[in-house]
Amino acid sequence: MRHTLTAALAACSLLTLAQGAQAQDQVVNLYSARHYTTDEALYSGFTKATGIKINRVDADDAGILARLKAEGSASPADVILLVDAARLYKGEVDGLFQPIHSQVLNDAIPANLRSQPAANGGGISWFGLSTRARVIVYNKVKVQKSDVDTYEDLGDPKNKGKLCIRSGSHPYNLSLFGAVTEHLGEPKAEAWLKGMVANLARPPKGGDTDQIKAVAAGECDIAVTNSYYLARLLRSNKPEDVAVANKVGVVFPNQQSWGTHLNIAGGAVARHAKNQANAVKFLEYLASPQAQNYFANGNNEWPTAKGVVVENPALKAMTGGVAFKSETIPISAVGANIPKVQQMLDRVGFP
């Protein structure tokens, strides 16, 4: 009787463990810096296709990285989504991600839009899943397009008193400045940053949309913004937003040299992921044509996966329906330049 009871209890325990494992297999815990309501359809689409439930924690990039460090091995996070290349790089060098081994992702995402492979044939730490171009907008009445067709023009004396830009320490700008530093070298990049300070029409303030609105309102003549903020205004159902967008011209800088800087949103598998297989499935789903088209049409971003055709009318309007040249430097180089950039910003007094 005792043996029978023991066997029954053992079987019950095994069943409980199996059920627990099965339940765990049907979940992926996501830490996301993407705060876009349009992404809800992506998440529900993944659950519908796979049966895997997504538990999501929202925070900004810096908050997510700090949380991962604080939680250590006790972290429940499986997938990390960040919206800035410099922060993806920082998470990688801080050892917060684990290598990803996925032929699906390797085939879909170009090499310059993902981390460098780990040593000794290791996997990739993170993959870029969508991009936003860091463009220049300008007053079509007061400014000639040829005077703002490169990033270098932002620091040229010809544009003195014309520039609006958000804080130099914002991740979007740090990534841009890190890229320009890689292209120009430190001495020229610092001189360029100093020139931008001299060209400010007002102290940096607000977000990217505020910069566009400032140009439309005549507060300044040129500004820097991520492309999807302008696309949002173009696609808005508010006439005043569309009017703002129609007042400004847009330039994809450096088409005759290294190409326009892309800010990358990407994904990684957390170092201590408990649902590793599901985490990889989720990232593979985000690289699928269905999800990539949703990034483009739902949130006005450019997809990173090869062969995906963008049908978004606002993105087409900005580029004239023609593909633009984007820079191809490794993101690791951009990330490695950030500490130098921060020192330069302090030296030139960039707010």
| pLDDT at residue 10 in the model | 39
At 124 the pLDDT is 94
If 0-12 CB within 10 Å is exposed, 13-18 middle and 19+ buried, where does residue 349 land?
Answer: exposed
CB 171 within 8 Å of CB 86: yes
Position 19 scores a pLDDT of 38
**CA–CA distance, 260 with 262 (Å, rounded to integer):** 6
Q: Can you tell me the distance from the alpha carbon of 137 to that of 157, in angstroms, rounded to the nearest whole number? A: 18
Annotated binding-site residues read 35, 228-229
Looking at residue 311, what is its pLDDT?
A: 87
- Look-up of token digits 């390797």: 106
Contact 138, 215 (CB under 8 A): yes
Asked if 159 and 153 count as a contact pair (C-beta separation under 8 A), the reply is: yes
Q: Supply the pLDDT for residue 55.
A: 97
- Identify the structural domains of the chain with CATH numbers, from first to last: 27-130+262-314 (3.40.190.10), 134-260+326-348 (3.40.190.10)
What distance in Å separates the CA atoms of residue 134 and residue 284, rounded to the nearest whole number?
26
Structure tokens at 27: 């979940």
Mark the binding-site residues for Fe cation, compressed into ranges.
35, 228-229
How many whole angstroms separate alpha carbon 197 and alpha carbon 173?
Answer: 14
| pLDDT recorded at residue 120 | 60
Q: Where are the beta strands (DSSP E) in 101-191?
A: 126-139, 163-164
- Joined tokens for residue 120: 């000794």
pTM of the model: 0.87
Q: Which SS3 state, helix, strand or coil, does residue 53 take?
A: strand
User: Exposure of 194 by Cβ count < 10 A (0-12 exposed, 13-18 middle, 19+ buried)?
Assistant: middle
Cβ pair 24, 275 in contact under 8 A: yes
pLDDT tens digit sequence for 71-80: 999 999 999 9
Residue 118 has a pLDDT of: 72
Report residue 339 as tokens.
């500490």
> What are the residue ranges in the chain where pLDDT is below 70?
1-25, 119-121
Q: How many residues does the chain have?
A: 351
Beta bridge partners of 224: 136
CB contact at 8 A, 295 and 41: no
CA distance 251 to 263: 16
Nearest of 258, 223, 281, 207 to residue 54 by alpha carbon: 281
User: Which positions ≥6 away from 152 have C-beta within 8 Å?
Assistant: 184, 192
Token pair 């739902």: residue:
298
Sorted by sequence, the CB contacts under 8 Å of residue 212 that are 6+ apart come out as: 137, 223, 225, 229, 230, 233, 244, 245, 248
How far apart CA 192 and CA 182 sit, in angstroms, is 13
Residue pointed to by tokens 């492309």: 227
What CA–CA distance (Å, rounded) separates 226 from 302? 11
